[in-house]
């Protein structure tokens, strides 16, 4: 601990000292804390877990609800998630919920996503030496193994972008953008940077109809100091609304000049906001026939021109459907269809009708639950 602090105490990027991770507790940590404070009393000290030794309380992988309890807690120590949002496989889906809570309570100071990069090794494909795949536990004949538990990053091993990284970028962006209450052309902007005025960035907007851009423009520099908010007008022209179309306004902030880490035009913050424009299409003129409804039995039977339909009164499911003289759902046999040349039963029986199925395909983070 002494060597680390002496080595790095003058480094401007170091703001917190850490006494390690997942190493238990005891008098050694008390000694490390005292030694670090003797050399550098200016920086806070962190150690994984809620304890009396460190200046910051922290845990790993709390739920959003538990985190909010910590936010409401009265304590002189800030609270930090030293690991959260485990990024293995299809993950990081509820990151925004965490940050809604973090930004709600001053005591909460953020967290560290575990982790940055998939820790796979490039291994040649047998018989194809010019091609490779990213190998993990078990791919080298090793056993026992943790298999793909090292593939839990926001980027691939060769640093390619994933959807998880784009989600983190969006949630972490330093510019908050939303409609001014009750407005369709005035936007509230908040500068969440600590040191940058938003006038340093290029701002632009676009308006889309069903995904196609129909108007766009460049905004004057937004002169807004760190921590401040303002409202700006979006100068789009009056629309001729298409019936049934969906409209969105997109606002972007981008780098005005090349940086060491990105080129000019790199988007640093954006927001897409729906526009409540709608036009009702003229109703289609259609010939109709009266519906016949019979509720005398266990089913509700509805008949009309070209169809017969029955619902089970208790289950609410379709028990029979005939359309254009073809029995689409019968009431006395299993569904059977031809798939890839084979005939096999469906998951539900005739008579039950379509049933809700809340199964979700498992993802890597589900493995710990068996």
Note the pLDDT tens digit of each residue in 75-96.
Answer: 999 999 999 999 999 999 999 9
Q: Are 83 and 65 in contact (CB under 8 A)?
A: no
Q: Are 157 and 119 in contact (CB under 8 A)?
A: yes
* Separation CA 55–CA 96 (nearest Å): 27
Give domain 173-275's CATH architecture: Sandwich (2.60)
pTM of the model: 0.80
pLDDT tens digits, 309-353: 988 888 888 888 889 888 887 765 444 443 444 444 444 444 566
What band does 115 get if pLDDT is binned at 50, 70 and 90? very high
pLDDT tens digits, 280-294: 777 776 666 789 999
Q: Is 30 a catalytic residue?
A: no
In this predicted structure, what is the pLDDT of residue 370?
Answer: 54
In this predicted structure, what is the pLDDT of residue 105?
Answer: 98
Q: Is 295 a catalytic residue?
A: no
In this predicted structure, what is the pLDDT of residue 287?
Answer: 66
pLDDT tens digits, 218-269: 999 999 999 999 999 999 999 889 988 999 999 999 999 999 999 999 999 9
Is 136's pLDDT higher than 70?
Answer: yes
In this predicted structure, what is the pLDDT of residue 327?
Answer: 84
Query: With the CA atoms of 352, 356, 357 and 360 taken in that order, what torsion angle do they form, in degrees rounded to the nearest 10?
Result: 170
Q: Pick the catalytic residue: 48, 57, 68, 83?
A: 83
Length of the chain: 370
Is 52's pLDDT higher than 70?
Answer: yes
* Separation CA 44–CA 31 (nearest Å): 15
């Amino acid at each position: 601990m002494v060597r680390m602090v002496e080595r790095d105490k003058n480094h401007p990027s170091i703001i917190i000292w850490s006494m390690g991770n997942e190493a238990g507790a005891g008098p050694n940590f008390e000694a490390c804390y005292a030694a670090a404070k003797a050399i550098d009393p200016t920086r806070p000290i962190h150690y994984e877990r809620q304890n009396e030794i460190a200046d910051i309380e922290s845990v790993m992988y709390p739920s959003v609800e538990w985190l909010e309890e910590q936010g409401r807690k009265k304590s002189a120590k800030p609270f930090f998630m030293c690991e959260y949002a485990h990024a293995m496989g299809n993950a990081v889906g509820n990151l925004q919920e965490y940050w809604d809570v973090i930004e709600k309570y001053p005591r909460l100071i953020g967290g560290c996503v575990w982790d940055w990069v998939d820790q796979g090794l490039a291994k040649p494909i047998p018989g194809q030496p010019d091609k490779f795949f990213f190998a993990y536990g078990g791919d080298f004949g090793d056993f026992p193994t943790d298999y793909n538990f090292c593939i839990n990053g926001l980027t691939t091993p060769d640093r390619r972008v994933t959807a998880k990284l784009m989600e983190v970028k969006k949630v972490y962006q330093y510019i908050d953008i939303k409609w001014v209450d009750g407005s369709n052309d005035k936007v509230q902007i908040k500068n969440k940077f600590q040191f940058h005025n938003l006038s340093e960035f290029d701002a632009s907007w676009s308006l889309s109809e069903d995904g196609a851009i129909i108007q766009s423009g460049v905004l004057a520099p937004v002169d807004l100091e760190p921590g401040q908010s303002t409202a700006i007008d979006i100068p789009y022209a009056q629309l001729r609304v298409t019936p049934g179309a969906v409209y969105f306004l997109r606002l972007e902030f981008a780098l005005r000049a090349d940086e060491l880490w990105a080129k000019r035009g790199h988007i640093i913050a954006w927001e897409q906001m729906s526009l409540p424009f709608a036009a009702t299409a003229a109703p289609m003129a259609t010939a109709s026939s009266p519906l016949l409804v019979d509720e005398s039995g266990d089913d509700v039977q509805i008949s009309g021109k070209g169809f017969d339909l029955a619902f089970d009164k208790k289950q609410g499911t379709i028990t029979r459907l005939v359309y254009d003289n073809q029995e689409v759902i019968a009431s006395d046999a299993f569904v059977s269809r031809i798939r890839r040349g084979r005939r096999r039963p469906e998951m539900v029986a005739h008579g039950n009708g379509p049933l809700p199925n809340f199964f979700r395909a498992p993802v890597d983070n589900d493995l710990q639950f068996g």
